[in-house]
Structure 1
Amino acid sequence: MSNSMLQILVLAAIAVFLILRLRNVLGTREGFEPPRQPTPLSRPTLRTVTAEPESDILDHVEAGTPEAEALAAMHRVEPQFAVGPFLSGAKQAYEMILTGFERGEIEEIRPFLSPAVAEAFDAVIADRTARGITTQMQYLGTRETAVQGASFDPATGVATVSVRFVGELIAAHRDASGEVIEGDPKAARKQRDIWTFERRMGQDDPNWQLVATA
């Protein structure tokens, strides 16, 4: 027997040995087995979807309160309404309106003010101007934004939401001579406000108006 033939027989014997060992370790498959599919992600149930508006409301007000009922009524009239995004928008409006008022620049924010609030702001700004009062103001941020109250009139569709804000700012008013008559230009202070916003639900205009401050 030649050396080449002997080498082939040895290699074949080794191959048979390895195949038998693999069969013993891994086992065999017989018959048809469909390819394994990845486990699908669970699909949201109807209950999960319908619970979202309630969860959004109860994240901000107590269940069973007039505020919770009013916010739920708003959502029924306008399904895209949600408390969380509303409060985010209210926070931005608070910062923008407060800064504009303190600086005496309200033309850009006037569309967000009811006529009564705009008139009151104009009167304060005119009085400051007549007395030569100037304002130094730096807004540092809003530390708290929370629902204080809510109501809904189903007859008119008018929704009203009062929001509690706690802002932090540096503000000082100076008279015509430059003397500080109110505030401190070097110290931050907290300002607590309750602002009431109003809007007719179901209308094309998505903007809420500031109708009262306290």
Structure 2
Amino acid sequence: MNETTDPNNHILLVGIIAFYWALLSSWGQTQPRPGNDKAKRDDAPADQLTGNDERTPSADTSLDGIRKIEPDFDVAAFLAGAKTAYEIILRAYADSDIQTLKRLVGPEVLDTFERAIAGRRDREETLQLTFIGISEAKVVDTLEEEGTAEVVVRYVSDVVSVTRSANDAIVAGDPRQLVEVIDTWTFACETRSTKRNWMLIATEGE
């Protein structure tokens, strides 16, 4: 994904964001809904650890936290939104789109992303990200305390990532190499709100 601005790409991004927010507002609601070795990543946001969660729950207990406040929590609908959020956030990071990131991530994650983006700009580098797809996304833990719900999602995805210098030389990555990325992201929302406005509050890469 290149950091240059194209009007058509901007229109497409606005459409994707509008869809994302419509989907995001339905997370946790109970109404019916339609239904190789890992390569090293040199410039991926999940490599910046912004939160550390050492819980290792079993599959039987991973939903206990959220179901204390939402007994009929729709895991499939939540993960559909989480997948959309994952791609949009990665693309926004690659495009240095701070405004989009501000709407989707919490203060600590935003600070990490902003510092990485600023460093890239200072070095006059661009990050080109081609998002291939998510092969796995699953809820691995949940927590509810003091009016806040947290849901931890583990992603396995495929991307092509290349960092280039000002003269277009490759600094990191390989445009011909597909990279498997494994990330654990934590989303949080205020439980007292009638809408589940989930925000990304922590990331961790494996």
Q: TM-score, normalised by structure 2?
A: 0.67
User: What residue is the counterpart of 1:179 in the other structure?
Assistant: 169
- State the alpha-carbon separation in 2 of the partners of residues 188 and 169 from structure 1: 6
**Residues 114 and 210 of structure 1 are in contact (CA less than 8 Å); yes or no, is this contact kept in structure 2?**
yes
Alignment: residue pair count: 147
User: What residue is the counterpart of 1:144 in the other structure?
Assistant: 136
- State the alpha-carbon separation in 2 of the partners of residues 181 and 92 from structure 1: 29
- State the alpha-carbon separation in 2 of the partners of residues 144 and 74 from structure 1: 26
Per mean C-alpha deviation after superposition, the further-off stretch among 85-94 and 203-212 is 203-212
- State the alpha-carbon separation in 1 of the partners of residues 75 and 192 from structure 2: 16
RMSD: 1.6
Which of 49, 63, 67 is 1:68 aligned to? 63
User: What residue is the counterpart of 1:8 in the other structure?
Assistant: none
| Larger helix percent | 1
**Residues 66 and 150 of structure 2 are in contact (CA less than 8 Å); yes or no, is this contact kept in structure 1?**
no
> Please, which runs of 5 or more residues in structure 1 have no aligned partner?
1-60
Alpha-carbon offset, residue 147 of structure 1: 1.1
Q: TM-score, normalised by structure 1?
A: 0.64
Task: Render the CA deviation track for 1:135-166: whole Å, top value 9, x for unaligned.
Answer: 1211111111011211111xx22111110011
Check if 1:161 corresponds to 2:151: yes
User: What residue is the counterpart of 2:125 in the other structure?
Assistant: 133
Check if 1:117 corresponds to 2:112: no
> Please, which runs of 5 or more residues in structure 2 have no aligned partner?
1-57
Alpha-carbon offset, residue 98 of structure 1: 0.8
Task: Render the CA deviation track for 1:60-97: whole Å, top value 9, x for unaligned.
Answer: x733x2x2321321314xx5x42221111011000100
- State the alpha-carbon separation in 2 of the partners of residues 141 and 125 from structure 1: 23
Alpha-carbon offset, residue 181 of structure 1: 1.2
Runs (4 or more) in structure 1 with deviation over 6 Å come to none
- State the alpha-carbon separation in 2 of the partners of residues 188 and 213 from structure 1: 21
Structure number with greater CO (CA < 8 Å, separation at least 6) is 2
| Letter paired with 1:130 | D
- State the alpha-carbon separation in 2 of the partners of residues 180 and 116 from structure 1: 30
Alpha-carbon offset, residue 210 of structure 1: 0.4
Task: Render the CA deviation track for 1:177-205: whole Å, top value 9, x for unaligned.
Answer: 22111111122111110000011123034
- State the alpha-carbon separation in 1 of the partners of residues 86 and 187 from structure 2: 11
- State the alpha-carbon separation in 2 of the partners of residues 144 and 95 from structure 1: 13
